[in-house]
Each structure stands twice: as structure tokens, then as C-alpha cells.
């Protein structure tokens, strides 16, 4: 028996439940910033560029159906006092300040003026932000997560989404990391304990079938 088969068998019937979709979903794009896709950036993660490209069609569908779309970005005060211990642990994140091109959104998934942008300083898109309140006020019960990185901000957001009471869907080919191993390991953990991990086309089909504002 292979290690992957043994792992799946070990979790079967214990950590393999599904939450599915609820009545209303929001697409949350987590930190699709240029620092993760520019080779000259220390934050560069090749898998993120693929995730950005794969997200374009999903974003277009969400916009065409009137689905709530929310973007997040990391942005620090120039003196970094709002970065706390995280910037001591990961000083590479100091690139995320206004005026640094690495802190700007990737053009392929640039927010529209009508779309909410949540500014955060830590990994989870919920920590210290108005995201949960915004979703509740909009009647959202399901969050569809894309972005980066899988092992960092995506995982932290998925865990908090569950803890705030939202059904959580992570789109496997629309998230990325610096390396395949942490990407795969964290998707396994998320799918086991915190939400459902689904491929983009599967998510798009589910959203279409549920007819969340789809135009005829």
C-alpha cells in the first residue's frame, strides 16, 4: 500500500466529511498581489501565477452572475508598527507597503471599483478586519476561496471561515504556494477538517447549477 493510500484510509470515515454549498456564496480573492508573481520579488511563488490565470474564468463567471466578490490585500503602515510579531518572523512581508509595486494587485484579477477590498496585516482575511460582518450583512453563508499562499493566508482564512460559521470551498487550482509539497499538504488538511477542496471547473458547474443570479 502506498503512503497516499495509507493516509486516505487512515482519514476515511473520520476526517472526510463535506460541507457543500449553502444558499448564497461570495468569491474571496486572497492577496493576488504582484510580489507573488514577479521573479525579482523575494516572495515569488511560481504556482501563484498559474492560480491567477486559472482564476480569471471563475472571476468572470462570478461577476456575470452578480455573485459577491471580495478582494483582500496585505498593506502595512510605513513604520510597520501594525505588523507586530509577524514581521519579526517574516520580514520579507515588509514589501507590502503603499508605493511598492509588489503590493499592487495582479492586473488579470484587478478589483473593480464596485468590489470590496479588505486590507489586512495578518494571514487570515478575517483577523482584525470587517470581512465577517460584511459577509453576514450580505446574507452570505458560503465562501469560495482563491489566492495565495495555500499554506499561509488561504489556510488561515479557511480555518477562520469555518470558525465564523461559513461553509468553505477552496478552489484547488486557483490557489498556489512556493512549493508543491506544502500546497498539497495544506489542501489535504483543509479538505479533511475545515472545508471542501474542489477543482475550478467543478466549482463553476456547481455555481451555475445553483443559479445564484445567473443570467439566461
Catalytic annotation, residues: 153
Nine-digit cell string for 91: 520580514
Element (H, E) at 119: strand 116-120
3-state secondary structure of 68: strand
What's the per-residue H, E or C state across 22-43?
A: CCCEEEEEECCEHHHCCCCCCC
Give the integer Cα–Cα distance in Å for 159 and 141: 15
Peptide bond connecting 52 to the previous residue in cis, omega within 30 degrees of 0: no
Query: Backbone phi, then psi, for 13, in 5-degree steps?
Result: 80, -5
Distance of CA 38 to CAs 101, 116, 123, 170, 175, Å? 10, 25, 20, 24, 16
Amino acid at each position: 500500500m502506498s503512503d497516499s493510500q495509507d493516509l486516505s484510509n487512515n482519514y476515511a470515515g473520520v476526517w472526510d466529511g463535506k460541507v457543500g454549498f449553502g444558499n448564497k456564496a461570495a468569491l474571496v480573492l486572497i492577496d493576488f498581489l504582484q510580489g507573488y508573481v514577479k521573479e525579482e520579488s523575494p516572495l515569488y511563488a511560481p504556482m501563484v501565477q498559474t492560480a491567477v490565470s486559472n482564476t480569471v474564468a471563475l472571476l468572470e463567471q462570478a461577476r456575470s452572475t452578480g455573485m459577491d466578490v471580495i478582494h483582500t490585500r496585505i498593506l502595512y503602515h510605513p513604520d510597520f508598527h501594525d505588523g507586530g510579531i509577524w514581521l519579526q518572523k517574516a520580514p520579507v512581508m515588509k514589501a507590502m507597503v503603499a508605493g511598492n509595486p509588489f503590493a499592487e494587485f495582479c492586473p488579470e484579477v484587478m478589483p473593480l471599483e464596485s468590489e470590496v477590498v479588505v486590507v489586512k496585516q495578518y494571514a487570515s482575511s478575517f483577523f482584525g478586519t470587517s470581512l465577517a460582518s460584511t459577509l453576514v450583512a450580505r446574507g452570505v453563508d458560503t465562501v469560495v476561496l482563491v489566492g495565495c499562499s495555500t499554506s499561509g493566508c488561504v489556510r488561515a482564512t479557511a480555518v477562520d471561515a469555518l470558525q465564523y460559521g461559513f461553509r468553505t470551498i477552496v478552489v484547488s487550482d486557483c490557489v498556489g504556494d512556493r512549493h508543491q509539497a506544502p500546497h498539497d499538504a495544506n489542501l489535504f488538511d483543509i479538505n479533511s477538517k475545515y472545508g471542501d477542496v474542489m477543482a475550478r471547473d467543478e466549482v463553476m458547474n456547481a455555481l451555475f447549477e445553483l443559479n445564484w443570479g445567473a443570467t439566461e
